[in-house]
Structure 1
Amino acid sequence: MDLDLRRYLDELVDAARDVLGDNLVGAYAAGSVGLGAYQAGRSDVDVALLCAGPLTEADKRALVTRLRHEALPCPARGLELVAYRREVAAAGSPEPGFEVELNTGSGMPFRCTLDPGDRPAADGRFWYGLDRSILHQSGLPLLGPPAGEVFADLTPADLRRLLIEALSWWLALLTPPDDRPAPGAEDAVLGACRSLVRHRDGVWLSKVAAGQRLIDAGDPAEVIGRAVAARRGGPPPTGTQARAFQRRVRAEIAGQPD
C-alpha cells in the first residue's frame, strides 16, 4: 500500500477512536483499496466504520469535524466514509442503514448526511448494500475482526434488485445517446462490467479487472477497451456506446431477452 495512504488510514482510525471511544469496534478499507486497485491521483478512499451501538448527533458531528479534509487532509481525490452499527452490518439488508456519511476531499463535493432518510433518492440509495457486499468479500481490516465476519452479504434477490437500480441510475445520469465521447461514460461502462461479473461469477472485482474479464470472455471489446483506455487519459466511450452496453447488461441481470 502507498505509504501516504497507509499513514492517512492510520491517522483516520486514531481520530475516529478519539471521538467514538469503545463504541468504535471496527474500521475497514473498501472500494479500490479493498479490491487492490487503488490508483493514486484518481481513486477515492472508501472507509467503513463499525460501531457497537447508535451514534448521537453530537458524535456524528464531532466525527465529521475530525475527519473532514480540512482537519485531516486526504491524499486521494477524496474520502468516502460511512459508519454502520454492528447489527446493521450483520443483517445483510439492502437498505442504506448508516449512522453518518461523509464525502470530503480536494477533488469531490462535500457531503455530510446524518440520517439515511436525508439521502436524496435522486442520488441513489443502492450504494450502501452493494458496498457492504463488497466489504463482505474484500474489506481490508484497519481495526477489528475480518470484514467477512461482520458484514453479511446480500440475498441473491436483493443483489439483483440493487444492481438493476444502479444501472438504471447510471443510464439516467448519462447524457442522451450520441456519437461524441461522453464525460463519465468510462465509469458507467466499467461499473456495469463489475456488476455483470458479480452477477455471472459471484465475485466482486475492480472495475478494470472486471472489464478485462469480460473482454476475455468475448463481450464487446471495443466499448470496454475504450473505457479502460479512458482511465489512462484516452477519450471515453460515446453516449451511444455506453447506453447500449448498459442496457444490455441490465437486461441480462434482469433476465430479460436481449
Structure 2
Amino acid sequence: MDPAVRDYLSALVATARAVLGDDLVGAYAAGSVALDAYRPGRSDVDAALVCAAALDDGSKRALVAGLRHEALPCPARGLELVVYRREVARSGTPEPGFEVELNTGARMAFRVTWSPGERPAGDGRFWYGLDRSILHQGGYRLLGPPAAEAFADLSPADLRTLLVDALRWWLDRPTPAGDAPAPGAEDAVLGAARALVRLRHGVWLPKDAAGRRLVADGWPADLVDRSIAARAGGPPPSGPAARAFQRRVLAEVAAG
C-alpha cells in the first residue's frame, strides 16, 4: 500500500474510534486501494466503516467533523467514506442502507449525505450494493472481522439489476458529439468492462485488468488499449466509440 495512504487510513480509524468508541466494529479500505490499483494523483481513497447500531445525529456530525479534509488531510484526490450498520453490511441488500456518507478532499467537492433518503435518484442508488460486493470479495481489513464476513455479497439477480442501473446511468452522462476525445470516456469504457467481467467470471477486477480480460475474451483491443492509456495521461476515446462499447456491454448484462 502507498505509505501515505496507509498512514492516512490508520489516522482515519483512530479518529473514528475516538468518536464512536466500541460502536465501531469494522473499518475497511475499498475501491482501488483494496483492488491494488491505487494511482497517486488520480485515485480516491474509498473506505467503509461498520458500526454496531444506528448512529444518532450527534455521532454523525462529530464523525464528519473529524474526518473532513480540513481536519484530517487526505493524501489522495479525496476521500469517499460510507458508514453502515453491521446488520446492513451483512444483509446482502441492494438498497443503499448507509448511516452517513462523506466526500471530501483537496480536489473533490465536499458533500455529506445524512441518510439514504437524501440521496438524489439522479446521482444513482446502485453504488452502495456494488461497493459492498467489492468489499465482500476483496476489502482490505483495517479493523474488525475479515471483509468477507463483514459484508455479504449480492444475489445474482440483484447484482445484474444494479449493474444494469449503473450502465444506464453512465450512458445518460453527457458527452461531446463527434470523434474528438471525450474526457471521462475512458472510465465509462473500463467501468463497463469491469461490470461485464464480474457477470461473466464472477470476480471484481481493477478497471485496467477488466479491460484486458475482455480483450482476452475476444473483444477488440483498440478501444480498451486507448482507454487504459488515457488513464495514464493519453487522449481518451471519443464519445460515440465509448457509447457503442457501453451499449454492447449493457445488452449482454441485461440479457443475463
Q: What TM-score bracket applies, with the shorter chain setting the length?
A: over 0.9
Q: Determine helix, strand or coil for the equivalent of 1:91.
A: coil
Q: In structure 1, what is the equivalent of residue 17 of structure 2? A: 17
How is 1:205-224 mapped onto 2 (pairs within 5 angstroms)?
Answer: 205-224=205-224
Do the aligned partners of 2:176 and 2:182 also contact (CA within 8 Å) in 1?
no
Do the aligned partners of 1:177 and 1:243 also contact (CA within 8 Å) in 2?
no
How is 1:1-258 mapped onto 2 (pairs within 5 angstroms)?
Answer: 1-175=1-175, 177-255=177-255
Q: CA RMSD in A?
A: 0.9
Do the aligned partners of 1:26 and 1:49 also contact (CA within 8 Å) in 2?
yes
How far does the alpha carbon of each residue in 1:31-57 deviate from its partner, in whole angstroms, 9 at most, with x for none?
001111111111100000000000001
Letter of the aligned partner of 2:157 in structure 1? A
How far does the alpha carbon of each residue in 1:139-193 deviate from its partner, in whole angstroms, 9 at most, with x for none?
0000001000110000000000000000000000131552111111011111001
How far does the alpha carbon of each residue in 1:90-123 deviate from its partner, in whole angstroms, 9 at most, with x for none?
1000000000000000111111001100001111
How far does the alpha carbon of each residue in 1:191-215 deviate from its partner, in whole angstroms, 9 at most, with x for none?
0010010010000000011011111
Provide the C-alpha distance between the structure 2 equivalents of 1:165 and 1:31, rounded to a whole number of angstroms: 19
CA shift, 1:3, in A, is 1.1
Distance 1:226 1:217, change over 3 A: same
Letter of the aligned partner of 2:225 in structure 1? G
Do the aligned partners of 1:174 and 1:185 also contact (CA within 8 Å) in 2?
no
> Would you say how many aligned residue pairs link Structure 1 and Structure 2?
256
Q: Determine helix, strand or coil for the equivalent of 2:43.
A: coil
How far does the alpha carbon of each residue in 1:34-84 deviate from its partner, in whole angstroms, 9 at most, with x for none?
111111111100000000000001100110000000000000000000000
Provide the C-alpha distance between the structure 2 equivalents of 1:125 and 1:178, rounded to a whole number of angstroms: 30
Provide the C-alpha distance between the structure 1 equivalents of 2:203 and 2:20, rounded to a whole number of angstroms: 33
Provide the C-alpha distance between the structure 1 equivalents of 2:4 and 2:254, rounded to a whole number of angstroms: 42
Do the aligned partners of 1:81 and 1:103 also contact (CA within 8 Å) in 2?
yes
Q: Determine helix, strand or coil for the equivalent of 1:165.
A: helix
Q: Between the two proteins, what is the percent identity of the paired residues?
A: 70
Letter of the aligned partner of 2:85 in structure 1? R
Letter of the aligned partner of 1:119 in structure 2? R
- Which structure 2 segments of 5+ residues have no match? none
Deviation >6 Å, runs of 4+: none
TM-score (normalizing by structure 2): 0.98
- Which structure 1 segments of 5+ residues have no match? none
Letter of the aligned partner of 1:46 in structure 2? D
Provide the C-alpha distance between the structure 2 equivalents of 1:224 and 1:107, rounded to a whole number of angstroms: 27
TM-score (normalizing by structure 1): 0.98
